[in-house]
Amino acid sequence: MIHAHDSAIVRTMSRLLIPLIQLFALYVLCFGQYGPGGGFVGGVMLGTSLILGILVFGPESPACLVAKKVTHGDGIGLIIFAGVGGLCLIGGGEFMNYSNLEIPWVDTESHRRYLGILLTQIGVAVDIAVTAISIVFSLSLIDASEESHD
């Protein structure tokens, strides 16, 4: 259903925009604690950059192959988020109580909670990005599985 766009203007502008969108998404993700932004928006923007590649360059292009490899990571974001909670259990406290995270160079309780927030934001961003790409693959009826070796 989706085929590669035939206008050179659209293809060139997309080649320029995709890395810019990814850079801005990483900025918004890392500065979520000092300004608006955070995990949700950063994740959706990361997914959007690859969706732009799929829609403009078609199902056989390198952008689409990268996106198919990325969808293998479905669920890694949830493991990261729950894993941070598990690390807090290992450190001696309750589940998701970041003040018990045992990381070597981080001493004060407020710095441990800051680090806990940053790690969980990365987990949420990865989860949302992969889910957005996966839903676009499902809705556009592209076959996203690899060939099975018989």
Partner 1 sequence: MIEHIEAALHRPNFIAFVVLFLWGFFIMITHPNLVKKLIGMYLVQTSIIFLLVTVGAKKEATVPILQGSDATGSATHQIDPADYTNPLPQVLTLTAIVVQVATLGVSLALVTAIYQKYGSLDEDEILKRIE
Partner 2 sequence: MTVAFEISLLVLLLMTAAGAIMVKDLISSVLILGFYSFLLALVWAWLGAVDVAFVEAVVGAGLATVFFLLTLFGTASKDTHIRRTAAPAIALIGLPLLGLLLLYAAEDLPRFGDPESQASARVSPDYLTGSLKETHTPNVVTSVLMDYRAFDTLIETAVIFTAGIACALLLRRKQQ
Binding to partner 2, residues 2-31 (CB under 8 A): none
Q: Is 11 helix (H, G, I), strand (E, B) or coil?
A: helix
**What gap in Å lies between CA 81 and CA 31, rounded to an integer?**
19
| Site map (CB under 8 A) of partner 1, residues 13-52, x = contact | ---------------------xxx---x------------
| Eight-state DSSP code of residue 147 | P
> Could you tell me the CA-to-CA distances from 31 to 36, 51, 89, 147 in Å, in that order?
8, 24, 27, 40
Smaller CB distance to partner 2: residue 61 or 99?
99
Question: Smaller CB distance to partner 2: residue 14 or 121?
Answer: 121
How far from 5 is each of 18, 120, 134, CA to CA, in Å? 16, 38, 21
Instruction: Name 95's Cβ contacts closer than 8 Å, sequence gap at least 6.
Output: 85, 86, 88, 89
By CB under 8 A, residue 114 contacts partner 1: no
Residues forming contacts to partner 1 in the complex (CB under 8 A) are 34-36, 40, 128, 131, 135, 138-139, 141
Residues forming contacts to partner 2 in the complex (CB under 8 A) are 1, 32-41, 44-45, 47-48, 51, 55, 74-75, 77-78, 81-82, 85, 96, 98, 109-111, 113-114, 116-117, 120-121, 123-124, 127-128, 130-132, 134-141, 143-145
